[in-house]
Amino acid sequence: MSDTSQGPELPNLPSVITKAQRRWAPQIIWIIPIVAILVGLGLMYKAVVDHGPTITVAFKSGDGLIAGKTNVKYKEVDIGLVKTVVLSEDHQQVLATIELNKDASDFSNKDTRYWIVRPRITASGVTGLSTLLDGPFIAADIGKSTEKIDSFVALEVPPILTGGTPGREFILRAPTLGSHNIGTPVYFRRLNVGQVVAYDLDKDGKYVSIRVFIEAPYDQYVTNNTRFWNASGIDVSLNAEGIQVQTESLVAVIAGGIAFEAPQTSQDISDRLVNHPNQGNASDAKEAATPLTERAQPDAVFSLFSTRIIAMKQPDARVERFVINFKQSVRGLSIGAPVEFRGVNMGEVVSIETAMDPRTYEIVQPVEIFLYPDRLKIRSLKSGKLLPPPENELSRLKTLIAKGFRAQLRTGSYLTGQQYIGLDFFPGSPKYTLDVSKYPLEIPAIPGAFEDIEKTMANVIKNTDKLVKKLDDQILPEFDKTLKNINAITQSDSPLQTDMRDSLRELTKAASSIKTLTDMLDQQPQSLIFGKPQEESKQ
């Protein structure tokens, strides 16, 4: 029996129709995440567009640098933020990754400078006091280069910012830095008109280049003929007018300073004497006349002199080099010592050496000097006018040497033992023939006065020794014999003593007879005529 025959019949039931279902249909709820995604993409795009360059700055120390907190500022305005602070691979530096703002993209220029601002006390004052509360920050000084880089080395010393200050910068070259530092003031007629902004050692290591900034309008007084000198400390000089003390300011005495001025021209002196006749003096007339010069260009190079007196000296147009071979000790003579002619400075010592002749083994002290021939003026004795120098300088030197022109080592101070070279005429000097084939030409030398004194003293001591020896060998024995004879004569039993005693007795008797005669003549003066009276008549 089948199962179908047993079930009820359902003819009126509806049939099922099968249809395919749709897999996805747009719904309103999906709008929210889509909008969020679009907003996120927009923010990402804005962040990328507004994001400035990322740079790395190397510091020697990470003191005060905190990732995410230390700001980078320019003129007290935030231009970036430190993102990370890590050590370099060699552990010698601290690398700070800085994310700059979009509008600060120019701070990735190659010559941009970065440094950490902390409280500092310098010659120009106290700076960075705000960091005591807010903490250190990184300061920036925008560069002018068009080349972009992403790695910088921070400055250890904050620079002097002069970009927004009117004025000009100049370069001073000096043998040493001295007491100058960044911020050292610069004076013009005792007015503070600028400061030192940077310094660096030259590549050859012989000089130091000091960059100074002169503010406007004082920068117009820096001309091609301007002289700069070291105004640090107190300058004390002694001359015929007495002791002169000069200083720029108390700050210059303590922290150092630089001053500048142009030598006065004859026109300046004339104007001063006309406008202020009571202020003129003899020293004004001695100021050397120099032509007016134009304003110096920015970054012009000047020499930094040690004192104002040296700076204001007129430069010598001609310099000639000579050598002097001394055959004596040059102890006390130093490089830079003056070379004088009758008290007038004519040059200076530039080199002191020792040389030996390989054949004779004679040792000399070659001293090379600079002479300034223009300081020896040629003047007519009749009219008093200055004459042009001779065309043949060699002929003049030969003539001077023939007349006894010699060099001599002299003592400048017996207290310090310092010596200098004196030039003068010594007519009795030995003859000398100038060898024109040598360079530099040689100026003959004669022994110094002190050496002559030493030789004289040595001769005196030598003659004294001879005299003492002669006394010991000849005179003293004779003198001893004489003393012995004197002793023999003066003995009590000597014949001379006996004869002298007899002579004294006879003299005593003669004196007694003379006294008797004088007494008689006093009593009987007629005895001179009548003779001696008889004994009976006396009675």
Instruction: State how far the Cα of 143 lies from the Cα of 230, in Å rounded to an integer.
Output: 31
Instruction: State the pLDDT confidence band at 415, using cuts at 50, 70 and 90.
Output: confident
Half-sphere exposure of 85 (CA within 13 A, CB side): 17
Lowest model confidence (mean pLDDT) among 101-110, 299-308, 515-524: 515-524
Residue ranges in 276-346 assigned as alpha helix (H): 282-285, 308-311
pLDDT for the residue 321? 92
Instruction: State how far the Cα of 144 lies from the Cα of 151, in Å rounded to an integer.
Output: 16
pLDDT for the residue 285? 39
Instruction: State the pLDDT confidence band at 142, using cuts at 50, 70 and 90.
Output: confident
Q: Which of 143, 145, 194, 144 is nearest to 172 (CA)?
A: 194
pLDDT for the residue 339? 92
pLDDT for the residue 218? 93
Q: Answer yes or no: is pLDDT of 148 > 80.
A: yes
pLDDT tens profile 159-210: 777 666 889 999 999 998 888 888 888 999 888 899 888 888 888 888 999 9
Lowest model confidence (mean pLDDT) among 18-22, 281-285, 367-371, 475-479: 281-285
Q: 467 vs 227, which has greater pLDDT? A: 227
pLDDT for the residue 469? 74
pLDDT for the residue 181? 81
Length of the chain: 539
Instruction: State the pLDDT confidence band at 468, using cuts at 50, 70 and 90.
Output: confident
Tell me the pairing of strands 235-239 and 151-153.
unpaired
Q: Answer yes or no: is pLDDT of 272 > 70.
A: no
Give 86's strand partners: 95
Question: What average pLDDT does the structure give for the chain?
Answer: 78
Burial, 213: exposed, middle or buried (Cβ in 10 Å; 0-12, 13-18, 19+)?
buried
pLDDT tens profile 62-108: 888 888 888 898 888 888 999 999 998 888 899 999 988 888 888 88
The SS3 call for residue 97 is strand
Q: Answer yes or no: is pLDDT of 539 > 50.
A: no
Q: 67 vs 393, which has greater pLDDT? A: 67
pLDDT tens profile 444-462: 998 876 665 666 676 677 7
pLDDT for the residue 331? 87
pLDDT for the residue 97? 92
Q: Answer yes or no: is pLDDT of 507 > 60.
A: yes
pLDDT tens profile 232-271: 766 665 544 445 566 655 555 556 789 999 887 545 544 5
Instruction: State how far the Cα of 128 lies from the Cα of 139, in Å rounded to an integer.
Output: 11
Instruction: State the pLDDT confidence band at 379, using cuts at 50, 70 and 90.
Output: confident
Strands (E) across 222-319 are located at 227-230, 235-239, 242-246, 258-261, 301-305
Q: Answer yes or no: is pLDDT of 394 > 70.
A: yes
Q: 73 vs 293, which has greater pLDDT? A: 73
Q: Answer yes or no: is pLDDT of 409 > 80.
A: yes
Q: 35 vs 55, which has greater pLDDT? A: 55
Q: Which of 156, 65, 155 is nearest to 112 (CA)?
A: 155
Mean pLDDT of 499-524: 79
pLDDT for the residue 123? 55
pLDDT tens profile 204-213: 888 999 999 9
Q: Answer yes or no: is pLDDT of 434 > 80.
A: yes
Q: Answer yes or no: is pLDDT of 286 > 70.
A: no
